[in-house]
Amino acid sequence: MDGAGRAKGDEGGGAPSTRDERRWLGTLRRDGGWPLSLALALPLLSGLVLLGQAALLAALLHAAIADGRPLEALVPDLALLAALLGLRALLSYLGERAAVAGAERVKRVVRERLFAALLEQRPHWTAQRASGALAGALCEQVEALDGFFARFLPAMVAAAVLPPAFALLVLPLDWAVGLLFLVTAPLVPLFMALVGWGAEAAGKAQALALSRLSARFADRLRGLSTLLAFGRAQAEADEMGRIGEEWRARTMGVLRIAFLSSAVLEFFAALGVAGVALYVGLTFLGLVDLHAGTLTLETGLFCLLMAPEVYAPLRQLAAHYHDRAGAMAAAGEIAAAFGALPPSSPAAEAPAGASTPAQGALGVAVGGLRLSTPCGTRRLLDGADLTIRPGLRVALLGPSGCGKTTLLETLARLREADGTVRLGAVPLSEIAEAAFRERVAFVGQRPRLFHGTIADNIRLGRPQAGAAALRRAAELAEVDAFADLLPGGLDAPVGDGGLGLSGGEAQRVALARLYLRDPGLILLDEPTAHLDRATQERVLDKLLTFADGRTLLLATHSPAVAARMDLVLTLEGGRLVAAPPVGGLRRFALCEDAA
């Protein structure tokens, strides 16, 4: 297969660095859309309302205490103050709702991209990875991004803008208080960063432990019947309990560091507020005089009211700083599970210059094809050249393990190989994915059935298929022969993995999916292996009728099946050898073999 057709997940690449993870999290902000942008802007607007609220409250107290104005004269100002308080509460509520909505958008986009990346990989890629780790990355690790976008990011924007803005606003009113704000406020993020390094390391260790726990749990759950048979169920339950306890201890360690960062912030915030209160009080008592004029009650109260608000965004940031550490750790685990972080922008529907095969039967042209076992220890096919003309029906024979399935999976673009493969006149690597899946149908030796009804599993071939098309597909695949004997017929339930059906019945359900489609190339791996002779003949009759006007390549061990094909290809010793079928040769000239 051309190099351009290789899966992205198979390309080498180092693990992303912490800087890459930070950059990736930053680029995800635009996926939050307008809700996340609104969530970042509303705290700043609330800060402007806060300034008006503090100034109005200071003026009211000055008027009531220093000027002695009656309560009746202050009613309009009190009503305005209440309105400002209500507006701040409303902005806070809207900000939280927008942040949650933006975070949900980001998580949905990340999950869609991860799932798309998972579907792009070939079978051997997923076989080399623990399914529990992949599921954990899609579920728990993506969910761990929630706090970063819903809480930490709005808090970070507010902490970066509001404290210096408040300090600069207070500076002309009282340079000593403004200077105190400007000096003490930067100390908070500085010490938070020092504590945050430890939190990030602990978060990564916790995320790794959770990933391993998920992988182990999924593996043991899959093999539960084996564990019960060998009396190892209780021992594994005890081991899972021990690992779960270790994860709990790691989680508590992360929380301890998070609380430590909050304590550091509270300490410096308390010092700053106490310093302002002490300075204003001593100034009113005449013990400190750093003003050219007199510090009025209104100005002093305004400074006192603003003191806790200068540190409030920083306190909020510290409270959610562990969300950043958790998101960084989650990004690392996602990268470890998938080999790379998902792209920060949607991938194109098809690569540049992607082509679509012609309609009708598709020919196959193979040049210099080299196939090896998934581990690469044994060569299965060594430099084969083969041309199968459109409309030909070909049987692929050979002993078990010779590479028949690997060849079919290569033609189905599920496995990497060296050499060139063309469908019609188009290189395999240049065909758009959607067009390829539309024109090529592959039914493996062990088809996957999912929990649902028989009809649900057949309809995977074409989800929008109607009842009549579904029934016809079931009849062509001889599914109705056993489904009509079950309660509910085609609506009879099927367990995950085909539980409740025999191997032959599951194979026929997979064939019924094929009959809902209109492919130009059909690739089948042992489609009649689990059928009795009579059923095999009926299934094969209908299959060959369906294959008229299409190209069929069928791997089989059955001489009876091979005898009904136009051509037999034998795979042995790393070579493809073409020969007419036992029943005679009808269109041998349509296939050229240079192996």
Fold of the domain built from segment(s) 15-338: ABC transporter transmembrane region fold (1.20.1560)
Q: Which helix (H) or strand (E) holds 545?
A: helix 533-546
Smallest CA-to-CA distance from 124 within 356, 372, 423 is with 372
Q: Is the pLDDT of residue 13 over 60?
A: no
Please tell me the distance from the alpha carbon of residue 439 to that of residue 426, in angstroms, as a whole number.
Answer: 12
Q: Is the pLDDT of residue 2 over 50?
A: no
Q: Where are the beta strands (DSSP E) in 538-590?
A: 551-555, 567-572, 575-579
Q: Is the pLDDT of residue 297 over 80?
A: yes
pLDDT at position 44: 93
Confidence class for position 195, pLDDT limits 50, 70, 90: low
pLDDT at position 176: 82
Q: Which amino acid is at 437?
A: R
What is the CATH number assigned to the segment(s) 364-593? Answer: 3.40.50.300
Please tell me the distance from the alpha carbon of residue 260 to that of residue 140, in angstroms, as a whole number.
Answer: 25
Q: Where are the domains of the chain?
A: 15-338, 364-593
Confidence class for position 197, pLDDT limits 50, 70, 90: low
Mean pLDDT of 419-431: 84
Mean pLDDT of 275-298: 76
Beta-carbon count within 10 A of 560 CB: 14
Please tell me the distance from the alpha carbon of residue 572 to that of residue 245, in angstroms, as a whole number.
Answer: 54
Dihedral sign computed on CA atoms, order 29, 34, 35, 38: positive
Neighbour-count burial for 441-460, b at 16+ CB within 10 Å, e otherwise: bbbbbebebeeebbbbbbbb
How large is the C-alpha radius of gyration of the chain? 35
**For the chain, what percent of residues have pLDDT higher than 70?**
85
Confidence class for position 93, pLDDT limits 50, 70, 90: very high
Confidence class for position 298, pLDDT limits 50, 70, 90: confident
Q: Which amino acid is at 257?
A: I
CA distances from 39 to 44, 105, 106, 149, 278 (A): 10, 13, 13, 9, 36
Q: Which amino acid is at 103?
A: A
Phi-psi region of 375 (alpha: psi -120 to 50; beta: other; left: phi over 0): alpha
3-state secondary structure of 591: strand
8 A C-beta contact, residue 163 and residue 181: yes
Please tell me the distance from the alpha carbon of residue 1 to that of residue 152, in angstroms, as a whole number.
Answer: 47
Q: Which helix (H) or strand (E) holds 455?
A: helix 454-458
Q: Is the pLDDT of residue 542 over 70?
A: yes
Extract the tokens encoding 591: 């296939």
Mean pLDDT of 259-269: 70
Confidence class for position 11, pLDDT limits 50, 70, 90: very low
Confidence class for position 437, pLDDT limits 50, 70, 90: confident
pLDDT at position 348: 43
Bridge partners (DSSP) listed for residue 367: 420
Confidence class for position 388, pLDDT limits 50, 70, 90: confident
Please tell me the distance from the alpha carbon of residue 45 to that of residue 434, in angstroms, as a whole number.
Answer: 47
Please tell me the distance from the alpha carbon of residue 522 to that of residue 391, in angstroms, as a whole number.
Answer: 10
Confidence class for position 258, pLDDT limits 50, 70, 90: low
Please tell me the distance from the alpha carbon of residue 394 to that of residue 569, in angstroms, as a whole number.
Answer: 7
DSSP 102: H
pLDDT at position 249: 78
* Burial of residue 467 (number of CB atoms within 10 Å: 0-12, 13-18, 19+): exposed
pLDDT at position 371: 79
8 A C-beta contact, residue 370 and residue 543: no
Please tell me the distance from the alpha carbon of residue 472 to that of residue 205, in angstroms, as a whole number.
Answer: 55
* Residue pLDDT, tens place only, 102-126: 999 999 999 999 988 888 777 777 7
Please tell me the distance from the alpha carbon of residue 92 to that of residue 99, in angstroms, as a whole number.
Answer: 10
The H-assigned helical ranges of 70-170 are 75-120, 123-127, 131-136, 142-143, 146-147, 153-170
- CA end-to-end distance (rounded Å), the chain: 17
Please tell me the distance from the alpha carbon of residue 428 to that of residue 413, in angstroms, as a whole number.
Answer: 8
8 A C-beta contact, residue 7 and residue 122: yes
pLDDT at position 85: 92
Mean pLDDT of 537-550: 90
* Residue pLDDT, tens place only, 23-78: 888 888 888 899 999 999 999 999 999 999 999 998 888 888 887 888 888 888 89
